Structure 1
Amino acid sequence: MKAVILAGGFGSRLSEATNLIPKPMVEIGGKPILWHIMKIYSHYGINDFIICCGYKQYVIKEYFANYFRHNCDMTVDLSNNTTAVHDNHSEKWKVTMVDTGLNTMTGGRIKRIRKYIDNERFLLTYGDGVADLNITDSIVSHEKSGALLSLTAYKPGGKFGALQIDLNTDKVLSFQEKPDGDRNWVNAGYFVCEPEVFDYIPDNDDTVVFEREPLENIAKSGKMHAFRHSGFWKPMDTLRDNTELNEMWDEGKALWKVW
Protein backbone atom coordinates (compact mmCIF):
# COMPACT_ATOMS: atom_id res chain seq x y z
CA MET A 1 0.00 0.00 0.00
CA LYS A 2 1.23 3.49 -0.87
CA ALA A 3 1.16 6.58 1.31
CA VAL A 4 0.51 9.90 -0.45
CA ILE A 5 1.87 13.02 1.24
CA LEU A 6 0.73 16.52 0.28
CA ALA A 7 3.89 18.65 0.29
CA GLY A 8 3.37 21.34 -2.33
CA GLY A 9 1.88 24.32 -0.49
CA PHE A 10 3.53 27.65 0.23
CA GLY A 11 3.42 27.35 4.02
CA SER A 12 2.81 31.08 4.32
CA ARG A 13 1.99 30.94 8.05
CA LEU A 14 5.52 29.64 8.64
CA SER A 15 7.15 32.19 6.36
CA GLU A 16 10.10 32.67 8.72
CA ALA A 17 11.35 29.30 7.43
CA THR A 18 9.49 28.68 4.19
CA ASN A 19 10.96 31.61 2.28
CA LEU A 20 13.92 29.30 1.64
CA ILE A 21 12.52 25.75 1.84
CA PRO A 22 9.08 24.10 1.54
CA LYS A 23 7.21 23.62 4.80
CA PRO A 24 7.60 19.81 4.90
CA MET A 25 11.38 20.32 4.93
CA VAL A 26 11.34 22.49 8.06
CA GLU A 27 13.28 20.53 10.65
CA ILE A 28 12.44 18.95 13.98
CA GLY A 29 15.49 17.60 15.77
CA GLY A 30 17.64 18.08 12.69
CA LYS A 31 15.34 16.14 10.35
CA PRO A 32 12.55 17.47 8.10
CA ILE A 33 9.05 16.99 9.47
CA LEU A 34 8.42 15.09 6.23
CA TRP A 35 11.00 12.53 7.39
CA HIS A 36 9.22 12.19 10.75
CA ILE A 37 5.89 11.53 9.01
CA MET A 38 7.46 8.90 6.77
CA LYS A 39 9.09 7.24 9.79
CA ILE A 40 5.63 6.92 11.40
CA TYR A 41 4.28 5.15 8.33
CA SER A 42 7.40 3.03 7.94
CA HIS A 43 7.04 1.78 11.51
CA TYR A 44 3.79 0.15 10.38
CA GLY A 45 5.30 -1.37 7.25
CA ILE A 46 4.36 1.38 4.79
CA ASN A 47 7.51 2.13 2.79
CA ASP A 48 6.17 3.18 -0.64
CA PHE A 49 5.57 6.94 -0.78
CA ILE A 50 4.20 9.40 -3.32
CA ILE A 51 5.04 13.00 -2.48
CA CYS A 52 2.92 15.71 -4.10
CA CYS A 53 5.45 18.46 -4.70
CA GLY A 54 4.97 22.07 -5.73
CA TYR A 55 6.60 25.05 -4.03
CA LYS A 56 10.41 24.70 -4.05
CA GLN A 57 10.06 21.05 -5.03
CA TYR A 58 13.75 20.83 -5.94
CA VAL A 59 14.61 20.91 -2.22
CA ILE A 60 12.60 17.74 -1.57
CA LYS A 61 13.97 16.02 -4.67
CA GLU A 62 17.54 16.91 -3.79
CA TYR A 63 17.11 15.62 -0.25
CA PHE A 64 15.99 12.15 -1.30
CA ALA A 65 18.24 11.96 -4.36
CA ASN A 66 21.20 12.52 -2.02
CA TYR A 67 19.81 10.76 1.04
CA PHE A 68 23.04 8.81 1.54
CA ARG A 69 25.03 12.02 1.72
CA HIS A 70 22.61 13.59 4.16
CA ASN A 71 22.48 10.63 6.55
CA CYS A 72 25.86 8.92 6.70
CA ASP A 73 29.56 9.55 7.15
CA MET A 74 31.48 9.92 3.92
CA THR A 75 34.96 10.45 2.56
CA VAL A 76 35.61 12.53 -0.53
CA ASP A 77 39.04 11.98 -2.07
CA LEU A 78 39.71 15.08 -4.11
CA SER A 79 42.89 13.61 -5.62
CA ASN A 80 40.94 11.07 -7.69
CA ASN A 81 37.38 12.43 -7.43
CA THR A 82 35.96 9.42 -5.56
CA THR A 83 33.44 9.22 -2.74
CA ALA A 84 33.12 6.51 -0.10
CA VAL A 85 30.02 6.12 2.09
CA HIS A 86 30.45 4.87 5.67
CA ASP A 87 27.91 3.65 8.23
CA ASN A 88 24.94 3.75 5.90
CA HIS A 89 21.78 4.85 7.74
CA SER A 90 19.36 4.64 4.83
CA GLU A 91 15.71 3.61 4.86
CA LYS A 92 13.74 0.93 3.01
CA TRP A 93 11.74 3.59 1.24
CA LYS A 94 10.63 3.95 -2.35
CA VAL A 95 9.90 7.65 -2.88
CA THR A 96 8.07 8.96 -5.96
CA MET A 97 8.14 12.76 -6.13
CA VAL A 98 5.55 14.28 -8.46
CA ASP A 99 5.37 17.87 -9.67
CA THR A 100 1.72 18.67 -8.98
CA GLY A 101 2.03 22.35 -9.84
CA LEU A 102 2.99 25.50 -8.00
CA ASN A 103 -0.48 26.94 -7.33
CA THR A 104 -2.52 23.73 -7.35
CA MET A 105 -4.95 23.18 -4.48
CA THR A 106 -5.07 19.95 -2.47
CA GLY A 107 -7.78 18.29 -4.57
CA GLY A 108 -5.94 19.03 -7.78
CA ARG A 109 -2.69 17.64 -6.35
CA ILE A 110 -4.38 14.38 -5.35
CA LYS A 111 -6.02 14.05 -8.77
CA ARG A 112 -2.65 14.49 -10.49
CA ILE A 113 -1.10 11.45 -8.82
CA ARG A 114 -3.93 9.07 -9.73
CA LYS A 115 -1.81 7.23 -12.31
CA TYR A 116 0.68 6.24 -9.61
CA ILE A 117 -1.95 4.54 -7.42
CA ASP A 118 -2.79 1.66 -9.81
CA ASN A 119 -6.43 1.52 -8.72
CA GLU A 120 -5.48 0.39 -5.21
CA ARG A 121 -6.39 1.51 -1.71
CA PHE A 122 -3.97 4.19 -0.50
CA LEU A 123 -3.10 6.27 2.54
CA LEU A 124 -3.07 10.06 2.48
CA THR A 125 -1.81 12.79 4.78
CA TYR A 126 -0.37 16.29 4.88
CA GLY A 127 3.32 17.06 5.10
CA ASP A 128 3.06 19.11 8.29
CA GLY A 129 1.45 17.06 11.07
CA VAL A 130 2.72 14.32 13.39
CA ALA A 131 0.82 11.88 15.61
CA ASP A 132 1.24 8.67 17.58
CA LEU A 133 -1.46 7.21 15.37
CA ASN A 134 -1.62 3.43 14.95
CA ILE A 135 -1.68 3.23 11.15
CA THR A 136 -2.47 -0.50 11.15
CA ASP A 137 -5.50 -0.03 13.40
CA SER A 138 -6.75 2.80 11.18
CA ILE A 139 -6.55 0.54 8.11
CA VAL A 140 -8.34 -2.34 9.87
CA SER A 141 -11.06 0.03 11.08
CA HIS A 142 -11.48 1.32 7.52
CA GLU A 143 -11.79 -2.19 6.11
CA LYS A 144 -14.47 -3.10 8.64
CA SER A 145 -16.43 0.08 7.93
CA GLY A 146 -16.82 -0.56 4.20
CA ALA A 147 -16.43 3.19 3.66
CA LEU A 148 -15.00 4.94 0.64
CA LEU A 149 -12.77 7.11 2.82
CA SER A 150 -11.77 7.00 6.46
CA LEU A 151 -10.27 9.94 8.26
CA THR A 152 -8.67 10.21 11.64
CA ALA A 153 -10.86 12.26 13.95
CA TYR A 154 -9.35 14.13 16.88
CA LYS A 155 -10.81 16.36 19.57
CA PRO A 156 -8.44 19.26 20.34
CA GLY A 157 -9.13 22.48 22.20
CA GLY A 158 -10.50 24.34 19.18
CA LYS A 159 -9.62 26.45 16.09
CA PHE A 160 -9.94 23.60 13.57
CA GLY A 161 -12.73 22.39 11.27
CA ALA A 162 -15.46 20.11 12.66
CA LEU A 163 -16.97 16.70 12.00
CA GLN A 164 -20.34 15.43 13.14
CA ILE A 165 -20.00 11.73 13.96
CA ASP A 166 -22.54 9.05 14.80
CA LEU A 167 -20.85 7.66 17.92
CA ASN A 168 -22.63 4.33 17.57
CA THR A 169 -21.37 3.54 14.07
CA ASP A 170 -18.46 6.02 13.69
CA LYS A 171 -20.05 7.17 10.43
CA VAL A 172 -19.28 10.78 9.51
CA LEU A 173 -22.61 12.58 9.15
CA SER A 174 -21.28 15.95 8.02
CA PHE A 175 -17.98 17.66 7.26
CA GLN A 176 -17.42 21.39 7.83
CA GLU A 177 -14.17 23.18 7.08
CA LYS A 178 -14.05 25.68 10.00
CA PRO A 179 -17.39 26.28 11.75
CA ASP A 180 -17.83 28.42 14.85
CA GLY A 181 -17.32 26.79 18.22
CA ASP A 182 -14.61 24.82 20.00
CA ARG A 183 -13.97 21.24 21.07
CA ASN A 184 -15.51 19.58 18.03
CA TRP A 185 -14.17 16.45 16.41
CA VAL A 186 -11.72 17.59 13.74
CA ASN A 187 -10.01 16.16 10.71
CA ALA A 188 -6.47 15.24 11.85
CA GLY A 189 -5.35 14.72 8.27
CA TYR A 190 -4.55 10.99 8.19
CA PHE A 191 -6.76 9.22 5.64
CA VAL A 192 -7.35 5.73 4.28
CA CYS A 193 -8.81 5.99 0.77
CA GLU A 194 -10.33 3.71 -1.80
CA PRO A 195 -9.39 4.63 -5.39
CA GLU A 196 -12.99 5.73 -6.06
CA VAL A 197 -12.14 8.86 -4.06
CA PHE A 198 -10.59 10.22 -7.26
CA ASP A 199 -14.05 10.24 -8.85
CA TYR A 200 -15.12 12.96 -6.40
CA ILE A 201 -12.41 15.29 -7.72
CA PRO A 202 -13.09 16.92 -11.13
CA ASP A 203 -10.64 16.37 -13.97
CA ASN A 204 -8.23 19.12 -15.00
CA ASP A 205 -9.22 21.51 -12.23
CA ASP A 206 -6.31 22.59 -10.04
CA THR A 207 -8.55 24.92 -8.02
CA VAL A 208 -10.36 22.12 -6.20
CA VAL A 209 -9.78 22.07 -2.44
CA PHE A 210 -10.03 18.47 -1.25
CA GLU A 211 -11.35 19.51 2.15
CA ARG A 212 -14.37 21.24 0.65
CA GLU A 213 -16.63 19.73 -2.04
CA PRO A 214 -14.91 16.32 -2.36
CA LEU A 215 -14.90 15.50 1.37
CA GLU A 216 -18.25 17.19 1.97
CA ASN A 217 -19.85 15.14 -0.82
CA ILE A 218 -18.32 11.88 0.41
CA ALA A 219 -19.71 12.61 3.89
CA LYS A 220 -23.16 13.48 2.48
CA SER A 221 -23.21 10.19 0.58
CA GLY A 222 -22.67 8.28 3.83
CA LYS A 223 -19.38 6.82 2.63
CA MET A 224 -17.02 8.50 5.09
CA HIS A 225 -15.83 6.78 8.25
CA ALA A 226 -14.13 8.24 11.33
CA PHE A 227 -11.25 6.55 13.11
CA ARG A 228 -11.22 8.26 16.49
CA HIS A 229 -7.75 9.03 17.82
CA SER A 230 -7.32 10.04 21.44
CA GLY A 231 -3.52 10.09 21.61
CA PHE A 232 -1.11 12.75 20.42
CA TRP A 233 -1.53 14.89 17.31
CA LYS A 234 -0.01 18.23 16.44
CA PRO A 235 0.15 20.14 13.15
CA MET A 236 3.05 22.49 12.50
CA ASP A 237 1.28 25.62 11.30
CA THR A 238 3.43 28.35 12.85
CA LEU A 239 6.93 29.06 14.10
CA ARG A 240 5.62 28.55 17.63
CA ASP A 241 4.43 25.05 16.68
CA ASN A 242 7.85 24.28 15.25
CA THR A 243 9.52 25.52 18.42
CA GLU A 244 7.25 23.39 20.59
CA LEU A 245 7.87 20.27 18.50
CA ASN A 246 11.63 20.82 18.67
CA GLU A 247 11.44 21.26 22.44
CA MET A 248 9.51 18.00 22.74
CA TRP A 249 12.13 16.22 20.64
CA ASP A 250 15.07 17.69 22.55
CA GLU A 251 13.49 16.79 25.91
CA GLY A 252 12.79 13.21 24.88
CA LYS A 253 9.04 13.82 24.92
CA ALA A 254 8.32 13.38 21.19
CA LEU A 255 5.15 11.33 21.54
CA TRP A 256 4.94 10.77 17.78
CA LYS A 257 8.28 8.90 17.80
CA VAL A 258 6.79 5.40 17.62
CA TRP A 259 9.76 3.91 15.77
Structure 2
Amino acid sequence: MKVVILAGGFGTRLSEETTLIPKPLVEIGGKPILWHIMKIYSYYGFNDFIILTGYKSHLIKDYFINYYNRYSDITIDMSTNSVEIHKTYTEPWKVTILYTGQNTMTGSRIKKAQEYIGKEQFLLTYGDGVADINIQDLIKAHNNSKKIITMTAVQQTGRFGALVIKDNNMITSFMEKPKGEESWINGGFFVCQPEVFNYIPNNDDNIIFERAPLENLAKDNQLNAFKHFGFWKPMDTLREKEELTDMWQKGKSPWSVWLNKK
Protein backbone atom coordinates (compact mmCIF):
# COMPACT_ATOMS: atom_id res chain seq x y z
CA MET A 1 0.00 0.00 0.00
CA LYS A 2 1.35 3.42 -0.93
CA VAL A 3 1.86 6.21 1.60
CA VAL A 4 1.09 9.70 0.29
CA ILE A 5 2.65 12.61 2.20
CA LEU A 6 1.64 16.24 1.70
CA ALA A 7 4.89 18.21 1.73
CA GLY A 8 4.32 21.27 -0.43
CA GLY A 9 3.24 24.09 1.89
CA PHE A 10 5.15 27.27 2.71
CA GLY A 11 5.32 26.68 6.47
CA THR A 12 4.92 30.40 7.17
CA ARG A 13 4.33 29.93 10.91
CA LEU A 14 7.78 28.36 11.13
CA SER A 15 9.48 31.05 9.08
CA GLU A 16 12.57 30.97 11.30
CA GLU A 17 13.38 27.66 9.60
CA THR A 18 11.39 27.64 6.37
CA THR A 19 12.93 30.71 4.79
CA LEU A 20 15.72 28.42 3.60
CA ILE A 21 14.15 24.93 3.53
CA PRO A 22 10.65 23.42 3.20
CA LYS A 23 9.03 22.52 6.51
CA PRO A 24 9.23 18.73 5.99
CA LEU A 25 13.05 19.09 5.98
CA VAL A 26 13.17 20.96 9.30
CA GLU A 27 15.23 18.71 11.53
CA ILE A 28 14.29 16.99 14.76
CA GLY A 29 17.49 15.69 16.35
CA GLY A 30 19.47 15.90 13.14
CA LYS A 31 16.90 14.21 10.89
CA PRO A 32 14.08 15.92 8.93
CA ILE A 33 10.60 15.52 10.38
CA LEU A 34 9.73 13.92 7.04
CA TRP A 35 12.23 11.15 7.86
CA HIS A 36 10.57 10.62 11.26
CA ILE A 37 7.14 10.30 9.63
CA MET A 38 8.43 7.82 7.06
CA LYS A 39 10.09 5.77 9.80
CA ILE A 40 6.72 5.41 11.54
CA TYR A 41 5.13 3.95 8.42
CA SER A 42 8.18 1.84 7.64
CA TYR A 43 8.04 0.26 11.09
CA TYR A 44 4.61 -1.10 10.19
CA GLY A 45 5.83 -2.40 6.84
CA PHE A 46 4.85 0.43 4.50
CA ASN A 47 7.83 1.51 2.42
CA ASP A 48 6.34 2.82 -0.85
CA PHE A 49 6.05 6.61 -0.54
CA ILE A 50 4.66 9.35 -2.76
CA ILE A 51 5.75 12.79 -1.57
CA LEU A 52 3.71 15.72 -2.89
CA THR A 53 5.98 18.74 -3.04
CA GLY A 54 5.68 22.40 -3.91
CA TYR A 55 7.67 25.06 -2.04
CA LYS A 56 11.41 24.42 -2.48
CA SER A 57 10.66 21.02 -3.99
CA HIS A 58 14.21 20.64 -5.31
CA LEU A 59 15.60 20.44 -1.78
CA ILE A 60 13.41 17.45 -0.95
CA LYS A 61 14.55 15.78 -4.19
CA ASP A 62 18.17 16.54 -3.34
CA TYR A 63 17.77 15.04 0.13
CA PHE A 64 16.68 11.66 -1.21
CA ILE A 65 19.04 11.65 -4.20
CA ASN A 66 21.95 12.16 -1.80
CA TYR A 67 20.52 10.00 1.00
CA TYR A 68 22.94 7.11 0.44
CA ASN A 69 26.07 9.25 0.65
CA ARG A 70 24.68 11.49 3.38
CA TYR A 71 24.44 8.63 5.86
CA SER A 72 27.47 6.59 4.77
CA ASP A 73 31.08 6.71 5.95
CA ILE A 74 33.30 7.61 3.00
CA THR A 75 36.89 8.37 2.07
CA ILE A 76 37.45 10.89 -0.71
CA ASP A 77 40.82 10.68 -2.45
CA MET A 78 41.06 13.97 -4.28
CA SER A 79 44.34 13.04 -6.00
CA THR A 80 42.68 10.16 -7.83
CA ASN A 81 39.16 11.58 -7.88
CA SER A 82 37.79 8.47 -6.18
CA VAL A 83 35.32 7.80 -3.39
CA GLU A 84 35.43 4.75 -1.15
CA ILE A 85 32.30 3.87 0.82
CA HIS A 86 32.94 2.09 4.12
CA LYS A 87 29.69 1.85 6.08
CA THR A 88 26.26 2.44 4.69
CA TYR A 89 22.99 3.42 6.27
CA THR A 90 19.93 3.16 4.13
CA GLU A 91 16.21 2.33 4.24
CA PRO A 92 13.99 -0.11 2.31
CA TRP A 93 12.11 2.80 0.81
CA LYS A 94 10.81 3.48 -2.67
CA VAL A 95 10.23 7.24 -2.91
CA THR A 96 8.28 8.95 -5.68
CA ILE A 97 8.57 12.75 -5.50
CA LEU A 98 5.92 14.74 -7.37
CA TYR A 99 6.13 18.47 -7.90
CA THR A 100 2.48 19.48 -7.55
CA GLY A 101 2.82 23.26 -7.87
CA GLN A 102 4.06 26.13 -5.75
CA ASN A 103 0.64 27.45 -4.72
CA THR A 104 -1.51 24.33 -5.12
CA MET A 105 -3.92 23.53 -2.30
CA THR A 106 -3.95 20.19 -0.46
CA GLY A 107 -6.88 18.59 -2.28
CA SER A 108 -5.49 19.51 -5.66
CA ARG A 109 -2.09 18.08 -4.74
CA ILE A 110 -3.73 14.78 -3.84
CA LYS A 111 -5.64 14.75 -7.13
CA LYS A 112 -2.37 15.12 -9.05
CA ALA A 113 -1.14 11.89 -7.48
CA GLN A 114 -4.10 9.86 -8.75
CA GLU A 115 -2.28 8.35 -11.73
CA TYR A 116 0.52 7.15 -9.46
CA ILE A 117 -1.85 5.63 -6.91
CA GLY A 118 -4.25 3.96 -9.30
CA LYS A 119 -7.29 2.12 -7.99
CA GLU A 120 -5.77 0.93 -4.75
CA GLN A 121 -6.37 1.78 -1.12
CA PHE A 122 -3.73 4.22 0.11
CA LEU A 123 -2.46 5.93 3.25
CA LEU A 124 -2.26 9.72 3.51
CA THR A 125 -0.78 12.18 5.99
CA TYR A 126 0.82 15.58 6.40
CA GLY A 127 4.57 16.15 6.31
CA ASP A 128 4.73 18.05 9.59
CA GLY A 129 3.25 15.95 12.39
CA VAL A 130 4.21 12.83 14.34
CA ALA A 131 2.29 10.34 16.49
CA ASP A 132 2.63 6.95 18.14
CA ILE A 133 -0.36 5.75 16.16
CA ASN A 134 -0.60 2.05 15.35
CA ILE A 135 -0.97 2.09 11.56
CA GLN A 136 -2.17 -1.52 11.40
CA ASP A 137 -4.95 -0.77 13.91
CA LEU A 138 -5.90 2.29 11.87
CA ILE A 139 -6.20 0.23 8.69
CA LYS A 140 -8.21 -2.45 10.47
CA ALA A 141 -10.64 0.14 11.82
CA HIS A 142 -10.98 1.64 8.36
CA ASN A 143 -11.68 -1.69 6.69
CA ASN A 144 -14.27 -2.54 9.34
CA SER A 145 -16.02 0.79 8.77
CA LYS A 146 -16.45 0.15 5.03
CA LYS A 147 -16.25 3.92 4.45
CA ILE A 148 -14.34 5.74 1.73
CA ILE A 149 -11.98 7.46 4.13
CA THR A 150 -10.90 7.22 7.75
CA MET A 151 -9.40 10.23 9.51
CA THR A 152 -7.39 9.95 12.69
CA ALA A 153 -9.03 12.17 15.32
CA VAL A 154 -6.90 13.53 18.16
CA GLN A 155 -7.37 15.73 21.19
CA GLN A 156 -4.78 18.45 21.46
CA THR A 157 -3.91 19.92 24.82
CA GLY A 158 -4.38 23.69 24.74
CA ARG A 159 -1.40 25.89 23.98
CA PHE A 160 -1.93 27.77 27.24
CA GLY A 161 -1.91 26.28 30.72
CA ALA A 162 -4.84 26.65 33.08
CA LEU A 163 -4.58 28.26 36.50
CA VAL A 164 -6.02 26.73 39.66
CA ILE A 165 -7.41 29.67 41.65
CA LYS A 166 -8.92 29.41 45.10
CA ASP A 167 -11.80 31.53 46.46
CA ASN A 168 -9.34 34.09 47.87
CA ASN A 169 -7.93 34.63 44.36
CA MET A 170 -4.71 32.87 45.26
CA ILE A 171 -3.15 30.85 42.46
CA THR A 172 -2.22 27.47 43.89
CA SER A 173 -0.94 25.64 40.83
CA PHE A 174 -0.68 25.46 37.07
CA MET A 175 -2.04 22.66 34.93
CA GLU A 176 -2.12 21.89 31.26
CA LYS A 177 -5.34 22.96 29.63
CA PRO A 178 -7.40 19.75 29.81
CA LYS A 179 -8.49 17.80 26.81
CA GLY A 180 -12.24 17.94 26.41
CA GLU A 181 -14.49 15.36 24.81
CA GLU A 182 -15.67 18.02 22.37
CA SER A 183 -12.17 18.97 21.20
CA TRP A 184 -11.45 16.25 18.63
CA ILE A 185 -9.51 17.62 15.66
CA ASN A 186 -8.04 16.32 12.41
CA GLY A 187 -4.75 14.60 13.21
CA GLY A 188 -3.97 13.46 9.66
CA PHE A 189 -2.98 9.79 9.24
CA PHE A 190 -5.80 8.90 6.83
CA VAL A 191 -6.72 5.66 5.12
CA CYS A 192 -8.38 6.27 1.75
CA GLN A 193 -10.21 4.26 -0.83
CA PRO A 194 -9.58 5.35 -4.44
CA GLU A 195 -13.17 6.68 -4.56
CA VAL A 196 -11.90 9.70 -2.64
CA PHE A 197 -10.69 11.08 -5.97
CA ASN A 198 -14.32 11.38 -7.08
CA TYR A 199 -14.69 14.15 -4.49
CA ILE A 200 -11.82 16.23 -5.89
CA PRO A 201 -12.46 17.99 -9.23
CA ASN A 202 -9.95 17.99 -12.07
CA ASN A 203 -7.96 20.96 -13.32
CA ASP A 204 -8.41 23.14 -10.26
CA ASP A 205 -5.42 23.98 -8.07
CA ASN A 206 -7.52 25.67 -5.39
CA ILE A 207 -9.25 22.68 -3.79
CA ILE A 208 -8.57 22.49 -0.06
CA PHE A 209 -8.89 18.85 0.96
CA GLU A 210 -10.13 19.73 4.42
CA ARG A 211 -13.01 21.79 3.03
CA ALA A 212 -15.34 20.57 0.26
CA PRO A 213 -13.93 17.05 -0.25
CA LEU A 214 -14.01 16.04 3.42
CA GLU A 215 -17.21 17.98 4.09
CA ASN A 216 -18.97 16.20 1.22
CA LEU A 217 -17.64 12.84 2.33
CA ALA A 218 -19.10 13.57 5.76
CA LYS A 219 -22.47 14.53 4.25
CA ASP A 220 -22.49 11.23 2.37
CA ASN A 221 -21.70 9.32 5.60
CA GLN A 222 -18.38 8.20 4.11
CA LEU A 223 -16.00 9.80 6.62
CA ASN A 224 -14.98 7.53 9.49
CA ALA A 225 -13.08 8.63 12.61
CA PHE A 226 -10.30 6.66 14.27
CA LYS A 227 -9.88 8.10 17.76
CA HIS A 228 -6.23 8.18 18.81
CA PHE A 229 -5.71 8.64 22.54
CA GLY A 230 -1.93 8.44 22.46
CA PHE A 231 0.79 10.90 21.53
CA TRP A 232 0.30 13.32 18.64
CA LYS A 233 2.05 16.58 17.94
CA PRO A 234 2.28 18.89 14.94
CA MET A 235 5.29 21.07 14.16
CA ASP A 236 3.67 24.36 13.24
CA THR A 237 5.82 26.73 15.28
CA LEU A 238 9.41 27.10 16.46
CA ARG A 239 8.26 26.27 19.98
CA GLU A 240 6.79 22.97 18.84
CA LYS A 241 9.95 22.19 16.88
CA GLU A 242 12.03 22.80 20.00
CA GLU A 243 9.69 20.65 22.11
CA LEU A 244 9.99 17.74 19.68
CA THR A 245 13.75 18.15 19.54
CA ASP A 246 13.95 18.14 23.33
CA MET A 247 11.91 14.92 23.51
CA TRP A 248 14.17 13.26 20.94
CA GLN A 249 17.40 14.31 22.62
CA LYS A 250 16.16 13.05 26.01
CA GLY A 251 15.17 9.69 24.53
CA LYS A 252 11.52 10.37 25.32
CA SER A 253 10.03 10.56 21.83
CA PRO A 254 6.80 8.51 21.84
CA TRP A 255 6.48 8.63 18.04
CA SER A 256 9.79 6.79 17.46
CA VAL A 257 8.09 3.40 17.53
CA TRP A 258 10.99 1.89 15.58
CA LEU A 259 13.11 2.49 18.70
CA ASN A 260 10.60 2.28 21.51
CA LYS A 261 9.01 -1.04 20.65
CA LYS A 262 12.04 -3.18 19.97
**TM-score calculated relative to the size of structure 2:** 0.89
Cα deviations by residue, 1:130-174 (Å, 9 ceiling, x for unpaired): 000000110011011101000101122358xxxxxxxxxxxxxxx
Cα deviations by residue, 1:51-109 (Å, 9 ceiling, x for unpaired): 00100011100000010111111111112222122211100000000000000000110
Distance 2:158 2:238 in 1: 19
**AA in 2 matched with 1:236:** M
Residues 218-257 of structure 1: pairs in structure 2 closer than 5 A: 218-257=217-256
Q: 1:85: which partner in 2? A: 85
Say which is worse superposed, 66-75 or 94-103, in terms of deviation: 66-75
Cα deviations by residue, 1:110-142 (Å, 9 ceiling, x for unpaired): 000101002100000000000000001100110
Q: Which runs of 4+ in 1 moved over 2 A?
A: none
Contact 1:52 1:109 in 2 (8 A): yes
Q: Given the alignment of the two structures, is residue 122 of structure 1 paired with residue 122 of structure 2, yes or no? A: yes
SS in 2 for 1:247: helix
SS in 2 for 1:5: strand
Contact 1:14 1:23 in 2 (8 A): yes
Residues 46-85 of structure 1: pairs in structure 2 closer than 5 A: 46-85=46-85
Change (3 A) 1:206 1:254: same
Distance 1:23 1:86 in 2: 32
Distance 2:158 2:202 in 1: 34
Contact 1:158 1:182 in 2 (8 A): no
**AA in 2 matched with 1:185:** W
Q: What's the offset of the Cα at 1:183?
A: 4.7
Q: What's the offset of the Cα at 1:182?
A: 8.8
Say which is worse superposed, 181-190 or 246-255, in terms of deviation: 181-190
Q: 1:12: which partner in 2? A: 12
Q: 1:146: which partner in 2? A: 146
Cα deviations by residue, 1:24-56 (Å, 9 ceiling, x for unpaired): 000000000000000000000000000001000
Contiguous gaps of at least 5 residues in structure 2:
160-179
Q: 1:132: which partner in 2? A: 132
Q: 1:38: which partner in 2? A: 38
Distance 1:39 1:106 in 2: 23
Contact 1:154 1:185 in 2 (8 A): yes
Q: 1:185: which partner in 2? A: 184
SS in 2 for 1:96: strand
Contact 1:157 1:182 in 2 (8 A): no
Contact 1:14 1:238 in 2 (8 A): yes
SS in 1 for 2:15: helix
Distance 1:122 1:84 in 2: 39
Q: Which has the larger radius of gyration?
A: 2
Distance 1:253 1:218 in 2: 37
Change (3 A) 1:182 1:138: closer
The alignment of Structure 1 onto Structure 2 pairs a total of residues equal to: 238
SS in 1 for 2:197: helix
Say which is worse superposed, 149-158 or 5-14, in terms of deviation: 149-158
Q: 1:208: which partner in 2? A: 207
Q: CA RMSD in A?
A: 1.2
**TM-score calculated relative to the size of structure 1:** 0.90
Query: Percent of counterpart pairs with the same letter?
Result: 61
Change (3 A) 1:104 1:90: same
SS in 2 for 1:189: coil
